């Protein structure tokens, strides 16, 4: 019998390489992915899975990437710090995401899955979504969270016809680093859309329908410094000049949200694959942060292997029936309802 799971992927910038390792570990155990969701870098990985890519295929494509090009530059940013400051003032972001968009759109075209209508689910009773892939973004203009593609309706946009790449682009608009995405509503108002990690970096709720007997497991892929989610050593960074400040600002925005918390009462920790961003190379340990676009090949390999090991370790103790009995049984749900009244 084929094993199918749903999955949610946390945002984490360059750390997304570790998510791919986690995907490969789950697939090695015989699972395939059904409905998927994610934020920022997690949305990139989830969108490719939703389009039909495997973990191995995503890994092969990432090996070809020059992550430095994710920092898309124009004539202003090439002028150095003064140019970057002017660009930030003019567009609310230093870099463009053209390279990332072109890369992702090209991969989706290979699978013939470029619009949300191409990835409608065939099992409407599984989960809460009409589409295999969902992403989270932040609407700064209305101070609200967007669950894409379903919230596109409020902009007068038919989800079936909307670009998957554009939804991912909205979700991974890292504040300060990337120019925000502008989405126009039916009244002609321009909404400024930024990284979904500002509001929900680990959107397990997108796929958790809270039914007492879910037909398949939902796994979470989340970054933490250790499997116990405790800080791992000194995490202090010197902040002196503007580049340091901007990097620290983005790092705090993306990494601090949900960093040490998963709702145990819902069983989220027990279904979460905890991937360490701490890598060991040549006897030295270092933590890969979200905006390490200059990450080297050996560092990428180490981060990928962290994810691979984390998935395999997780599966040694995973039992779906036991998890359901503990967190989704009718008796437990009835007790929780009574306590909440």
Residue with more model confidence, 201 or 35: 35
Q: Residue 260: pLDDT above 50?
A: no
Residue 179: what are its φ and ψ, rounded to 5°?
-60, 135
Residue 263: pLDDT band (50, 70, 90) is: very low
- Helix ranges, the chain (H): 16-28, 41-50, 55-63, 81-91, 98-110, 164-171, 242-256, 297-316, 320-327, 330-340
DSSP letter (8 states) at residue 127:
S
- Quick one: 105 exposed, middle or buried, by C-beta within 10 A (0-12, 13-18, 19+)? middle
- Tell me what pLDDT residue 35 has: 94
Residue 340 tokens, joined:
């909440």
**Mean pLDDT over the full length of the chain:** 84
Share above pLDDT 70 across residues of the chain, in percent, rounded to a whole number: 82
- Whole-angstrom CA distances from 66 to 12, 183, 297 are 17, 28, 10
CB 37, CB 220: distance < 8 Å: no
Mean pLDDT of 6-29: 94
Mean pLDDT of 49-72: 89
Lowest average pLDDT, out of 18-22, 241-245, 313-317, goes to 241-245
Q: Residue 281: pLDDT above 90?
A: no
How far apart are the C-alpha atoms of 146 and 254, rounded to whole Å? 17
Ranked by mean pLDDT, the top range of 213-217, 294-298, 304-308 is 304-308
How far apart are the C-alpha atoms of 324 and 130, rounded to whole Å? 24
Mean pLDDT of 269-298: 88
CB 120, CB 176: distance < 8 Å: no
pLDDT in tens, 184-206: 999 999 999 998 888 888 888 88
Return the closest-CA partner of residue 305 out of 282, 284, 279, 287: 279
- Tell me what pLDDT residue 168 has: 96
Q: Residue 317: pLDDT above 90?
A: yes
pLDDT in tens, 144-168: 999 999 999 999 999 999 999 999 9
Residue 278: pLDDT band (50, 70, 90) is: very high
Residue with more model confidence, 37 or 269: 37
- Quick one: 273 exposed, middle or buried, by C-beta within 10 A (0-12, 13-18, 19+)? buried
- Tell me what pLDDT residue 250 has: 58
Output 262-270 pairs: Cβ under 8 A, ≥24 positions apart: 262/202, 262/220, 262/222, 262/229, 265/336, 266/204, 266/208, 266/327, 267/323, 267/326, 267/327, 267/328, 268/204, 268/220, 269/229, 270/323, 270/326, 270/327
């Amino acid at each position: 019998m084929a094993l199918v799971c749903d999955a949610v992927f946390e945002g984490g910038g360059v750390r997304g390489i570790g998510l791919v390792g986690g995907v490969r570990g789950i697939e090695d155990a015989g699972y395939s992915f059904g409905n998927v969701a994610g934020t920022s870098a997690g949305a990139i990985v989830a969108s490719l899975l939703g389009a039909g890519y495997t973990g191995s295929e995503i890994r092969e494509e990432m090996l070809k990437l020059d992550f430095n090009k994710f920092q898309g530059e124009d004539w202003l940013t090439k002028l150095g710090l003064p140019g970057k400051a002017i660009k930030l003032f003019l567009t609310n972001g230093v870099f463009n995401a053209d390279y990332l968009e072109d890369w992702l759109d090209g991969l989706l075209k290979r699978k013939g899955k470029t619009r949300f209508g191409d990835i409608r689910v065939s099992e409407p009773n599984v989960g809460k979504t009409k589409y295999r892939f969902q992403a989270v973004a932040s609407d700064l203009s209305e101070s609200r969270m967007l669950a894409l593609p379903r919230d596109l309706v409020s902009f007068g946009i038919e989800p079936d016809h909307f670009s998957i790449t554009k939804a991912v682009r909205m979700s991974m608009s890292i504040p300060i680093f990337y120019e925000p995405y502008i989405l126009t509503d039916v009244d002609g108002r321009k909404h400024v859309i930024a990284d979904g990690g500002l509001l929900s970096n680990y959107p397990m709720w997108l796929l958790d329908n809270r039914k007492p007997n879910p037909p398949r497991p939902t796994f979470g892929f989340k970054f933490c410094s250790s499997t116990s989610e405790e800080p791992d050593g000194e995490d202090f960074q010197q902040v002196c000049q503007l580049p340091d400040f901007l990097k620290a600002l983005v790092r705090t925005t993306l990494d601090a949200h949900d960093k040490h918390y998963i709702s145990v009462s819902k069983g989220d920790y027990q279904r979460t694959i905890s991937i360490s961003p701490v890598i060991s190379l040549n006897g030295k340990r270092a933590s890969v942060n979200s905006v390490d676009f200059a990450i080297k090949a050996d560092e990428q390999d180490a981060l990928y292997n962290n994810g691979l090991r984390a998935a395999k370790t997780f599966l040694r103790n995973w039992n779906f029936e036991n998890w359901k009995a503990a967190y989704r049984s009718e008796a437990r749900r009835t007790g929780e309802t009574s306590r909440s009244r």
